[in-house]
Amino acid sequence: MDPATLTAAALAAMIRARQLSAEEATRATLARIDRLNPGLNAIVQRRDEDALSEARALDTRIAKGEDPGPLAGVPVTVKVNIDQAGFATTNGLRIQQDLIAQEDSPPVANLRRAGAVIVGRTNTPAFSLRWFTRNSLHGSTKNPAFPALTPGGSSGGAASATAAGLGAIGHGTDIAGSIRYPAYACGIHGLRPGLGRVPAFNATAGDRLIGGQLMAVSGPLARSAADLRLGLTALSQPDKRDPWWTPAIPTPYAKRAALALTPDGLDTDPAIQDALTAAARSLEAAGWEIGTPALPPFREAMELQLTLWLSEFGLGGADAVAREADPDASFVHRELTKLAPAPTLESFMRALQSRARLARLWRGFFADWPVLLTPVSARLPFLDHYDTTSPQAFAEVIEAQMPQIAPPFMGLPGLTVTTGRIQTHPIGIQLLADRGREDILLDLADLLAPEILAVTP
């Protein structure tokens, strides 16, 4: 048995019962990183002695009978776009390679308090701006299960590492699918919490502009539903640095799930439609009512999300793209600006005004149908770096990703569940719920999400 390939739930139970030490689990994971990461480039920052020191400290606490936390000694990874004291918060950028954090961000602090051992920091595209993972500072990350395909982005390093057993849980961030798509591409599971569920703040960058505040979140990627629960429990503890943080207060809900195979006319691949239909049948067999009601707008929400995103880049972001001169980021930024008119004060304010209307419509929808089954993407995971092969390819990718881009505009949580795989691709679906209802998504993960074995490329 390689401890590095166990789930977080199994590892935490063994370490708490002193059947395995936190140091042994950490050493096994570091050895697996040594063996597999050179071919994946999922983890791009390490400090092994710090990880081993944390693990030994946890073992001492356990020996004293102290509670080690829900992630007792579990090796995890965090993404290079959040602050971890002593490391550069690069966000995949050469212009930030010397931006050393002096304190842990809330997600990192919460993982430590939960007893996790951070074994490395994972790669992201430059500016965390793609569904593919490559940058001029750290290089390109590979998909361990499907080498020809993108590992996803922007949390492509997190998904690759988690799928390969280089950490039982991966921290990711998501503003337009950056947790959900990498989980989908690498054949694992990923939870995007809703607005305010997981506290966030990077002292190296200061407060984000309003688009980032409303739409960007941190969340877990994992190979089992139980590990998603553990990851969210750890990450979602309060932190006074985030004024958006709100506690979840679960309440009873009706077992009614809506099914949307082609939301807003999306041209969904038949294999994905089949996976969604099969998931609906599984829920029906478990006592859920399945319906196909009319949906609030997806496409309008996607277009307005891009307006907020581009407004943010208009205040310094475009200059940073030019200074970084990363070929992928320059291409993506140029193509994104074609999709929405140059933002004005009025268009920006109208976007925020429309957000209230759309959030109201979706809240009303979820009051009747507590969960929605829909594609993660209209297409099976793309070939690696397909988006930058041509403007036409980029437009195809954007259209396919509409189900990922739209929900963050309303602050909604979303869950990618990998339901199966064919020879060349993983197959997965997306579950959406109202703000504050991550509990519903996790309950459905218990029913629909198989435990995924760690991949050895």
- Return the active site residues: 79, 154, 178
Give buried/exposed letters for 294-327 (b at 16+ CB in 10 A, else e).
ebbbbebbbbbbbbbbbbbbbeebeebbeebebe
Q: 295 Cβ partners below 8 Å, 6+ apart?
A: 258, 260, 263, 264, 365, 372
The CA-atom distances, in angstroms, between 450 and each of 222, 253, 418 are 11, 24, 8
Bridging pattern class, strands 169-174 and 134-135: unpaired
| Count of C-beta atoms within a 10 Å radius of residue 352 | 15
Query: Are the C-beta atoms of 92 and 56 separated by less than 8 Å?
Result: no
Cis peptide before 354 (omega within 30 of 0): no
Name the E strands within 163-288: 169-174, 189-192, 217-222, 256-259
| Dist CA 111 CA 130 (whole Å) | 26
Given the structure tokens 């356990």, which residue do they identify? 62
126, 418, 182: which is closest to 171 by C-alpha? 182
Backbone dihedral region for residue 433 (phi beyond 0: left; psi -120 to 50: alpha; all else: beta):
beta
| Dist CA 121 CA 137 (whole Å) | 14
| Dist CA 173 CA 40 (whole Å) | 20
| Count of C-beta atoms within a 10 Å radius of residue 267 | 9
Given the structure tokens 């992928």, which residue do they identify? 328
